[in-house]
Amino acid sequence: MRNRLLGILIALMACVLAALGVPLAYLIAASEQSKVVVDRIDDAARFAQDLPTQGRLTTAVKGDPEPGPGDIGRLHALTTEAERYHELYGARIGLFQRDGSAIAVSPTGWRPPAAGPGQQAYHEALAGRRSHNPPQVWPWTPDRTLAVALPVVRDGDVIAVVLTESPTGGLRSRILHRWMVLAGGEALAMIVAILLAVRLTGWVLRPVRTLDRATHDIATGRLGARVAPSGGPPELRRLARSFNDMADHVVLAIDQQRAFVADASHQLRNPLAALLLRVELIGLDLPEGHEEELVAVREEGARLARVLDDLLGLATAEGSRPEPEPVDLVDLVRTRADAWRPLAGQRGVALHWEGPPMAHAWADPIGFGSALDAVLDNALKFTPAGGEVRVGLLIGKDEVTATVTDAGPGLTEEELARVGDRFWRSSRHQNIDGSGLGLSIARTLLLAGGGGLDFAPAEPNGLTVRLSVPRRRGRR
């Protein structure tokens, strides 16, 4: 989300800078060219004033090809001035009569262009219009020249044209230089905009990250997690407060539900015990032949008592708030395996241990031991006599995992997705003793301590249960 939001902000800023920079770049080029055009028009006007036609009606008439005899000296001065102008500025300049013949021109022999912008400017001047908007010169058009023409008007008639054709190298260099300054300014503005976007994104998303972390903690069983007051937009701060209120109500409802389950389980145990006692007393007075019904009643009573005990254990586990501590998991797992070894021997099941000599992790030792007991009890129940249960320990990068693999019938893929749900038991295992709450209690105990419980099929048959806890504090 941070990268997407940051990308959107940067893209918007880039579009804004481009929307401002492109027109500004065009205006810079147009302004530089306009300065050159104005200078050339001024120069052409000066040459037009020096054209020796003042007071001579014959040369002031349109179409007169030659100046009068008295103008020879001024024509020579004008030609000399044109040559100096060409040498000084590198621009070609010429004064042409309407028929195209040269009055004064430099370099010698230069004539009005037969095509292109020069021809257009020349014809506009013949029509009485001076050049005011020649085609724009860009830095990537080195072969371009800038043509400016000015009509020489006497008594309302155009009698001659002053045409200049200037190289554009200097103009293109000035445009490029100002564009580079503009690009540098825009790059600096972009860097500042990116820094501001990063800070703005962090300011906006900080409450979201805190909220996401608190939500994850609550979802993984740490119901005491709350969103600490922090900065950010007012709407997100209000959302954080609403989240804390909602979490308080959820925790209250869960605690009430657990208390109800625990109280109901506890209160039902006494009437059940009294009922079983009365069944035993009634059984003493029953005539022979009713032992089978009496045994069935006893078994159902014992099963109901186990369910109540498991419900009470589940409510206690869900209400617990253990504090994980550093534990040598090898010692803990081997101790619990040794405790179950005598029962395994009675059932004809071999219990094997394989693991590293030491594995430290962060776990609630009581909760982890109870969860491992439930898993070992389950593995021994489903492993047939002559089979084996393998207990191992794996050290990963972030967690330590205890594995219990039985040699039972295993579970299908659909059953693997449901194993660990409350009261769920496979339809193929209904004849095996159990309430369907043992693995649920194990998962609850591990989640409360920051761990987890997973299931996987074993080879060639059976089920592997993995009990994982973090290696370091607060890594899950």
Residues 336 and 313 in one domain: no
Consecutive H or E run containing 416: helix 413-418
**pLDDT for 337-371, tens place per residue?**
999 999 999 999 999 999 888 888 988 888 888 88
Residues 339 and 327 in one domain: yes
CATH of the domain at 43: 3.30.450.20
Residues 298 and 396 in one domain: no
CATH of the domain at 462: 3.30.565.10
**pLDDT for 120-159, tens place per residue?**
888 888 888 887 778 888 888 777 788 888 888 877 788 8
Residues 286 and 329 in one domain: no
Residues 146 and 283 in one domain: no
Burial of 127 (C-beta count, 10 Å sphere; 0-12/13-18/19+): exposed
CA distance 147 to 409: 97
Q: Using 50, 70 and 90 to split pLDDT, how confident is the model at 68?
A: low
Q: What's the pLDDT score for residue 66?
A: 52
Number of domains in the chain: 3
Residues 299 and 387 in one domain: no
Q: What's the pLDDT score for residue 70?
A: 55
Q: What's the pLDDT score for residue 3?
A: 81
Whether residue 198 lies inside any domain: the answer is: no
Q: What's the pLDDT score for residue 63?
A: 44
Residues 453 and 329 in one domain: yes
Q: Mean of the per-residue pLDDT values for the chain?
A: 83
**Residue 59 above 50 pLDDT?**
no
Q: Write out the two tokens for 436.
A: 């369907």
Q: Using 50, 70 and 90 to split pLDDT, how confident is the model at 231?
A: confident
Q: Which residue has the higher pLDDT, 285 or 397?
A: 397
Q: Write out the two tokens for 299.
A: 């078994």
Q: How far is CA 295 from CA 21, 34, 84, 147, 163, in A?
A: 93, 113, 132, 119, 126
pLDDT above 70 covers what percent of the chain?
A: 94
Q: What's the pLDDT score for residue 475?
A: 52
Q: Please report which residue ranges of 286-328 form alpha helices under DSSP H.
A: 291-319
Task: Show the beta-strand stretches assigned E in 26-71.
Answer: none
**Residue 271 above 80 pLDDT?**
yes
Q: Write out the two tokens for 132.
A: 């005011």
Residues 151 and 266 in one domain: no
Q: What's the pLDDT score for residue 115?
A: 81
Q: What's the pLDDT score for residue 392?
A: 93
Residues 264 and 327 in one domain: no
Range of the domain at 257: 233-319
Whether residue 223 lies inside any domain: the answer is: no
CA distance 376 to 342: 12
- Contact, 404 vs 463, CB < 8 A? no
Find the length of the chain: 476
**pLDDT for 437-447, tens place per residue?**
888 888 888 88
CA angle 124, 126, 130 (to 5 degrees): 50
Whether residue 224 lies inside any domain: the answer is: no
Q: What's the pLDDT score for residue 423?
A: 79
Q: What's the pLDDT score for residue 176?
A: 92
Residue 203 is which amino acid? W
Q: What's the pLDDT score for residue 460?
A: 85
Residues 404 and 449 in one domain: yes
Residues 286 and 335 in one domain: no
Q: What's the pLDDT score for residue 183?
A: 93
Whether residue 128 lies inside any domain: the answer is: yes
